Amino acid sequence: MQEDSVLLVDKPAGITSFGVVARVRRKLSQQLGKKAKVGHTGTLDPFATGLMIIVTGKECRNASLYSKLDKVYEANIRLGQTSSTGDPEGDITDVSDLVPTLDDVNEALSGFVGEIQQQPPMYSAIKINGQRAYKLARQGEVVEMPFRTVTVFSLELMDYTYPDIKIRVHVSSGTYIRTLAQDIGLALGTGAYCNVLRRTKIADFSIDDSVPTSDYEN
């Protein structure tokens, strides 16, 4: 591991993106014999797994360039329920026992390809009046999240076995897959949340070329 590097790391579920950065910083600092400069180029939610681009040393100045790249995810959408956070970590509420047909699912998914409007989740790192939205939400404040235009380049149905829809989706930077899952649930009239999420590509960077986070643990 060099002082000025671009590292591809496979984040496991259950730790934060900042936890990954901390592990890399600790390992590199030990190698260099001084405190290393380490940053990330876009977070993954704690429940999510997959590719993170970690930058070190002088490469940290390029972090914003990497963060703007498009991304590919594989996700599982659980129908019939909603989550207060859009993921497994929130309060889960039963909504509907309606079972959509495969045709229903394909039709709903087709409506989310191209430029779409998204309202990011309250539990996100977006800043509202200088504060992270998730911090305000945890304090019980109702945060009105502004809509944004994002692009879904492709949306592939990998499997549908009720209540689970597995998709592979290629999206622009700034797209929230949790929100996409919720919106698909609304389109189907069943409610939904994202209970599994894995990032497999960031532009031409692939998860196949990454190393596990455990490689950076002492």
DSSP labels for 18-73? HHHHHHHHHHHHHHHTSPPPEEESS---TT-EEEEEEEEGGGGGGHHHHHTS-EEE
User: Helix, strand, or coil here: 1?
Assistant: coil
User: Helix, strand, or coil here: 151?
Assistant: strand
Catalytic residue among 4, 10, 45, 164: 45
Long-range contacts of 54-57 (CB under 8 A, 24+ apart): 54/6, 54/7, 54/8, 54/9, 54/20, 54/21, 54/24, 55/5, 55/6, 55/7, 56/1, 56/2, 56/3, 56/4, 56/5, 56/7, 56/24, 56/28, 57/2, 57/3, 57/4, 57/5
| H-helix segments, the chain | 17-32, 63-67, 102-110, 133-138, 177-188
The percent of the chain in helix, strand and coil, each rounded to the nearest 5, is: 30, 35, 35
Mark whether 70 is an active-site residue.
Answer: no
Neighbours of 171 (CB within 10 A): 22
Q: Which residues are catalytic?
A: 45
